[in-house]
Amino acid sequence: MEHVPKRSRRGVAGLALGALGVVFGDIGTSPLYALQTVFSVDHNMVATSAGDVFGVISLVFWSVTLVVSVKYVVFILRADNDGEGGVMALAALARTAVRPGGRRYGLVMLLGVLGASLFYGDSVITPAISVMSAIEGLSVSTPGVEHLVVPIGAVIITLLFAGQRFGTELVGRFFGPVMALWFVVLALLGGAQVVKDPSILAGLSPHYAVLFVVEHPGIAFIAMGAVVLSITGAEALYADMGHFGPTPIRRAWFFVVFPALTLNYLGQGALILGDPRTAASPFFHLAPDALGFPLVILSTVATVIASQAVISGAYSVSRQAERLGYLPRLTVRHTSQRERGQIYVPAVNWTLFVGVIALLLLFGSSERLATAYGLAVTGTFLITTTLFHIYAQAAWGWDRRRLLLLGIPLGLLELTYFGANLTKIFHGGWLPLVIAVLVATVMLTWQRGRGLVTDRRTEMEGPLEPFIEWLHGNPVAKVPGTAVFLHPGKDSTPLALRENATFNHVLHELVLIVSISSENVPFVPDAERVVLDHLGDPYDAITHLTLRFGFQEEQDVPRALGIARAQELVDVDIDDAYYFLSRISLDRGDEPTMPRWRKRLFLALAHNAASPTGYFNLPEDRTVSMGATVTF
């Protein structure tokens, strides 16, 4: 075991406890509904006989082992993009490793967009099914209250999303101990049943899964569409890596979560063998009658926590997509002074809330929601596996033998899961696909429209070098102070600068043309933050600065300029500088650059983008906007 200083160990232990609340909530509450759904699929096709029960338990155990323990915890967490995870971060990482311009270069980001889109589909369904499955336990402990399940669920989900603004640090601090208790309860409930019937331990053998598939191939295929519920949350585990880091996640998984889940699934299997009637709700039947209601309360709290995993993951994926050019500017609030990855994105939060509430009211039960669940998850699994193999080959130099050794078993297993979930497509499985298609359309439309507008804007602005030469031949009045012009690059002239010089006939003593560069890494060290270019003449008081930011960082321009001053790159007075924004008004043209409906969508996205003043942390009283119209 690696040596960790005493203080660091305490820090890792604290993060591991927080990770129990934020990262493992989703997969940790799968025992509530996974086996229950397996034994209820298609009117109880899976029997409660010893062969079927052992087969299902074996399938669940080896699915968790291969997909979560081996694929995600051992391998995928190694593919961290400067500490950040998630399918978009992995796609950006893979793109830096493959040859620019090659076939795989464009493929990896397209896969990233598709994976992120499917993840959003999962993010909408997970809170609804998790909360509903817990509250439905009331029907076991307190019969006759079924009509209250949906209203109670709606209230709980509303409170969950309303509390997101306090941040995952506070949430994790509260949720971590609760989830620690939850996993202890999982282990105790399952372990007690295993002690009563230790024969269920035979279900850990993989040959029972093989026998189940060989003897009942059709039934096993359908059942795997429900078995996959035991591994939902694995992708959120990866997306949430930036909130806590890989080491706390690995330790929490192997020392707490994995053993507790294994014991609980074994216990549910033993219970079903002893009394097949409990298959309708095996989790809640594990507890003595006197503990039924307290277990419902704890389960409800745990499922609220489960929802946190995908919500936090959606924040991270959204921010990554925005910085990589696939979403408009988003208002992002940092919720921790210690962990840079802990953020809150209001637009994503409330969009998810509307979707979750709509699903809750539309489906009305966890059993019906389970028919819509799984397709998005398994699709994301396949995309992540593909991206990982591309990256491992390009960056780590994995040979074909190593790639096939990991890829064949994972690919076959995940393809089987995906195929099994395709059978649900007409029973609700279409829902996550529709969500994914909508999100992918938004992301690809924004990327395409952004490129068109940038090209048109560059044409309007004209090249920068001839403009500077014009200034030398046509002196304009100099006014004291510093003017900072935010502009995409140094090849063209900022519209606000051109207007100020040609229309107002004035120029500040120091002119800084500042460009923002969003890098394909989450964080850029301050020593590499600023790139200076005197534009050929260090004495004409016009300087270009490139400010480099990672896709997980706040693009704070005044702070970055302060770094430039501290490094003696420019002599700028941050407290007196004026900031000029070239505001662009967009107008749909008649050119067939994009279908008209996509142009309208792009305009709507641009209209709702975050204000650049707040986004770049500019002082409102010293920020001036000067605009022009761009037709695309």
DSSP string, 94-109: HHHHSPTTSHHHHHHH
pLDDT at 6: 40
DSSP string, 27-54: HHTGGGTHHHHHTTTTTT-S--SHHHHH
DSSP string, 606-631: HHTSPPHHHHTT--GGGEEEEEEEEE
Taking alpha carbons only, the member of 342, 254, 340 closest to residue 22 is: 342
Residues with Cβ within 8 Å of residue 502, at least 6 apart in sequence: none
pLDDT single digits (tens) 539-582 = 678 899 999 998 778 889 999 999 999 999 988 888 889 999 98
pLDDT at 484: 95
Say which DSSP state 477 is in: E
Helix (H) and strand (E) counts for the chain?
A: 27, 8
Which residue carries 């899961």 as its tokens?
417
Q: What residues does each domain of the chain span?
A: 6-428, 455-631
DSSP string, 409-433: HHHHHHHHHHHHHHTTGGGTTHHHH
pLDDT single digits (tens) 405-459 = 999 999 999 999 999 988 888 888 888 888 899 999 999 999 999 888 888 888 8
Class of domain 6-428: mainly alpha
pLDDT single digits (tens) 322-360 = 888 899 988 877 665 555 556 788 889 999 999 999 888
Residues with Cβ within 8 Å of residue 405, at least 6 apart in sequence: none
Which residue carries 């930036």 as its tokens?
242
Instruction: Using pLDDT thresholds of 50, 70 and 90, give the confidence band for residue 490.
Output: confident
pLDDT average, residue stretch 35-54: 84
Residue 193, sorted as left (phi over 0), alpha (psi -120 to 50) or beta, turns out to be alpha
Taking alpha carbons only, the member of 281, 66, 256, 588 closest to residue 76 is: 66
Higher pLDDT, 590 or 264: 264
pLDDT average, residue stretch 387-399: 92
Is 18 in contact with 172 (CB distance < 8 Å)? yes
Q: Count CB-CB contacts under 10 A for residue 213.
A: 18
- The two beta strands, 542-549 and 530-533, are antiparallel
pLDDT single digits (tens) 215-265 = 999 999 988 988 998 998 788 788 778 767 788 889 999 999 999 999 999
Higher pLDDT, 429 or 613: 613
Residues with Cβ within 8 Å of residue 272, at least 6 apart in sequence: 35, 39, 48, 53, 278, 279, 282
d(CA 9, CA 40): 45
Which residue carries 């941040």 as its tokens?
167
d(CA 289, CA 143): 13
pLDDT at 538: 75
The answer to whether the predicted template modeling score (pTM) of the entire model surpasses 0.85 is: no
d(CA 22, CA 328): 27
